Structure 1
Amino acid sequence: MSNSQEQSLDENAVFLPTSESSPGFLYSETERLALERLLNAGPEGFYSTAGSQLSSSFLSPEEVTNITNWAQDYQLSPKPELWENVLELEDYCSTYYPGHSDTPPPGLCLGWPESSTWRERENSVKVYSSPPVEDEPPVRELIRQHLQKATQVIAIVTDRLTDCSVIGDLHNAASRGVPVYIILNQRSTHEGTVQRLWHPNMQVRVLGGKSFCSRAGRMVVGEMKDKFVLVDLQTVIHGSYSLTWSDAHLHRQLVTVLTGSVVDSFDREFRILFAGSSPVPEPRRTYWNQIPNHINNFSEIMFPKHLPYLGAEVTNPPSPPSDALLDWEAMGVMSGGCSVPNSPLEQHQDVFLKDKPVLNNAATTTDKNTTFADHFFSTKHLPLDKKR
């Protein structure tokens, strides 16, 4: 609870008037009433009653759209809608801490090293940009170097984590005994992300922003926009960079690498965020859980070599009829083993490359099948990459 909230509970507290031009100006009753109308009546009610006092200037159209989409009925213990059969989350209220004061905060159960004194660490500040300046590494390379050198702990706070190379580095670090803690923005976290981050030595939690509740029982929760990587309690990489492919290759970013006594502030901040975060359920057992510790090829994710079967596996199929015109051995039915194509593209090519010579051997259907094959291999039916 902030100092202003504590003081508001004191009947004898005196608040000095603050003008809008003052840096300390934060709370506006007019803005609060307008936001309540937005939550209760939507954009129409907000714009129709905002009046000339505000002219709707304190919220941009994008903010109005986001708040409208995020608005929900007030609930004491919100449960995420992204997963099915989830574990019950801990009660959490960002504005009234006594609501869960009897519940101990989550512990760093994977281990947390003791912080060394600031005298043992050299204070330094370095700024890196993306795209990088001359003779400086890209931000992605810089982060991966620190992750691969970690020996004690890795603590990450970010809104998104989908970069395959970074996920591979985290799995490698966890496999060599380095505890990995990750806090993600609750709204932008999907089940696939959680499954790809599953590891016995990796703990993933989610956290939202601050909440605003209206008197009519409507509420809105903001976003968690903190972004920093804490490595071995020695180095902090802090900035606007998200751990995604797009940030590595498309967007402009700026990060600061900090060492020394300032790391203690990020250590404390991570503990605060971790205590306020909520757990995510253990991912369902799908082929995502079989991702290797180090992802060397993106195709291993998009086109797994062993696809999951929806039905029961046929272990002893019946023998093909002996009088069939088709060459079953050439089609792979009579071969010793059955291999699944590496990708849908290879499967598409293999089927017709195998069938085409066999169909030509059938004398009664030679002309018809040849016409069909030529028509099928026209540009209309070619794979997308070949059409391009």
Structure 2
Amino acid sequence: MARRSQSSSQGDNPLDPNYLPPHYKEYYRLALDVLTEEGKESYQRFLADEAAPDFLCNSEVDHIIQNLQKPQYANQEGSTDTAGDNDMDGSSGTYWPMNSDLAVPELDLGWPMVFGFRGTEVTTLVQPPPPDNPSIKEEARRMIRAAQQVVAIVMDIFTDVDLLFEVLDAAARRVPVYILLDEMNSQLFLDTAAKCRVNLNYVEFLRVRTVSGPTYYCRTGMSFKGHVKEKFLLVDCMVVLSGNYSFMWSFEKIHRSIAHIFQGELVASFDEEFRILFAQSEPLVPPANVLAKAENAFAMTPFGSNMPFFPKKAPLMFQRDDNLFPSFMDRIDPDRYFLSNFRRDDMLRHTVEGSAMRMYKKVEMENAQMDPVRGFLRSKQLELDAF
């Protein structure tokens, strides 16, 4: 007997114009049981005997066989009672997989609450982008850089090192980052972090967990899981980037894809979906041999500060000499030492490029009018500080 979730009927009245006949077919279930118990040849023989079409493609058959799991009671030595201690109502603590005594994981880094959405704004992006239009990856990087409260990512495969850098930079700015990966492809993310020498255990404002697709149970107790094909980026619970774009180098260069940017009321549905997936997730624990190797001079280093992800090249110009004007050091504003630490290539330069720098330049112009010689020397110093 098919469950309502396995049927496509939109109503119980066959005379209803919106009624759809159920798409459940019994031979689907029987064929899958034969495939999981006896293999491909018996599966093809069963379909031929039933004169039924093959409803699985080769990749689906391979996925089922490769990810098939035996029932848990079969792995327990000396277990003779497979049904367990059943109550009078037929329920069992080991039979019903949806009932769990484990606590739901918490969003311990914080989660913003947003109210008052009005309308929905949708922007469509395609890859490769048309001329003079941003790419999907550029929009994803821009959204992560603009995050102030939270960054939430649900992705099937995450191997793009550039987007990994943006995520780690957001965590270094103390912005909570939550990443949910497909359970079967999570090792690819660990491999990418290992290649970049990033120790995920040292990133304070980053949480990486795994989610699997629904589980299909056969009559013998064997089961197999599916993949997580959801792909979206949620920033500050205000804007969402969703589509068929995976965080991989190939999706930027050789694959065609489409994505949409949602703003407004529709963002609330992605907010709810992420929290549901997070409640169903499992922690991603890197293996011990991936964290660090003492004998390797290039062992992975923690990424918990504002240091650049990739080492910068040596500067082409001469280093600035702070003692260039030693006779005027006593006449220079002490704030100079704070502002001179930020260069054009510094990651935090944008934080002082706004009102602080404008106010600083305004004071310099006023001082230049009062003391031309001092103003000329200070303007030369500012030119040197710009490099």
Match of 1:368 in 2: none
1:242 to 238, 246, 250: 246
Letter in structure 2 aligned against 1:4: R
Match of 2:150 in 1: 153
Letter in structure 2 aligned against 1:295: F
Match of 2:181 in 1: 184
> What are the residue-to-residue correspondences of 1:175-214 with 2, within 5 Å?
175-190=172-187, 191-193=190-192, 196=198, 198=200, 199-214=203-218
**Cα-to-partner distance string for 1:273-327 (whole Å, 9 max, x where unaligned):** 111111112553312344686433699xxxxxxxxxxxxxxxxxxxxxxxxxxxx
Deviation at residue 56 of structure 1 after TM alignment: 4.0
Match of 1:320 in 2: none
Identity across matched positions, percent: 32
Match of 1:105 in 2: 104
Runs of 4+ in 1 over 6 A off after TM superposition: 14-18
2:300 to 288, 297, 305: 288
Does the aligned pair in 2 maintain the 1:211–1:220 contact within 8 Å?
yes
Match of 2:126 in 1: 129
Deviation at residue 74 of structure 1 after TM alignment: 2.5
Q: Distance in 2 between matches of 1:50 and 1:16?
A: 32
Deviation at residue 189 of structure 1 after TM alignment: 1.2
Match of 1:4 in 2: 4
Deviation at residue 44 of structure 1 after TM alignment: 1.2
Match of 2:54 in 1: 57
Letter in structure 2 aligned against 1:242: S
Match of 1:172 in 2: 169
SS in 2 for 1:116: coil
Letter in structure 1 aligned against 2:271: D
Q: Distance in 1 between matches of 2:45 and 2:12?
A: 32
Does the aligned pair in 1 maintain the 2:178–2:208 contact within 8 Å?
yes
Which blocks of at least 5 consecutive residues in structure 1 are unaligned?
A: 8-13, 79-92, 300-388
Matched, 1:44 2:41: yes
Does the aligned pair in 1 maintain the 2:151–2:176 contact within 8 Å?
yes
Which blocks of at least 5 consecutive residues in structure 2 are unaligned?
A: 76-92, 293-298, 314-387
Q: Distance in 2 between matches of 1:54 and 1:104?
A: 48
TM-score (norm 2): 0.63
What RMSD over aligned residues (CA atoms) do the two structures have, in Å? Answer: 3.3
Does the aligned pair in 1 maintain the 2:161–2:192 contact within 8 Å?
no
**Cα-to-partner distance string for 1:109-144 (whole Å, 9 max, x where unaligned):** 01111122214xx62101000000122101111100
Letter in structure 1 aligned against 2:224: V
Q: Distance in 2 between matches of 1:56 and 1:242?
A: 33
SS in 2 for 1:217: coil
Match of 2:330 in 1: none
Letter in structure 2 aligned against 1:219: S
Does the aligned pair in 2 maintain the 1:206–1:279 contact within 8 Å?
yes
SS in 2 for 1:73: coil
**Cα-to-partner distance string for 1:154-193 (whole Å, 9 max, x where unaligned):** 0000011111111111111001110000000000111424
Does the aligned pair in 2 maintain the 1:110–1:201 contact within 8 Å?
yes
Does the aligned pair in 1 maintain the 2:68–2:222 contact within 8 Å?
yes
TM-score (norm 1): 0.63
Indicate how the Cα distance of structure 1 residues 241 and 5 shifts in structure 2: closer, same or farther if over 3 A, else same: closer
1:68 to 61, 65, 81: 65
**Cα-to-partner distance string for 1:306-355 (whole Å, 9 max, x where unaligned):** xxxxxxxxxxxxxxxxxxxxxxxxxxxxxxxxxxxxxxxxxxxxxxxxxx
Q: Distance in 1 between matches of 2:12 and 2:275?
A: 32
Indicate how the Cα distance of structure 1 residues 183 and 138 shifts in structure 2: closer, same or farther if over 3 A, else same: same
Q: Distance in 2 between matches of 1:244 and 1:24?
A: 40
Indicate how the Cα distance of structure 1 residues 131 and 155 shifts in structure 2: closer, same or farther if over 3 A, else same: same
SS in 1 for 2:170: helix
**Cα-to-partner distance string for 1:79-108 (whole Å, 9 max, x where unaligned):** xxxxxxxxxxxxxx9x956421x3331100
SS in 1 for 2:186: coil
Indicate how the Cα distance of structure 1 residues 143 and 180 shifts in structure 2: closer, same or farther if over 3 A, else same: same
Letter in structure 1 aligned against 2:179: I
Indicate how the Cα distance of structure 1 residues 273 and 33 shifts in structure 2: closer, same or farther if over 3 A, else same: same
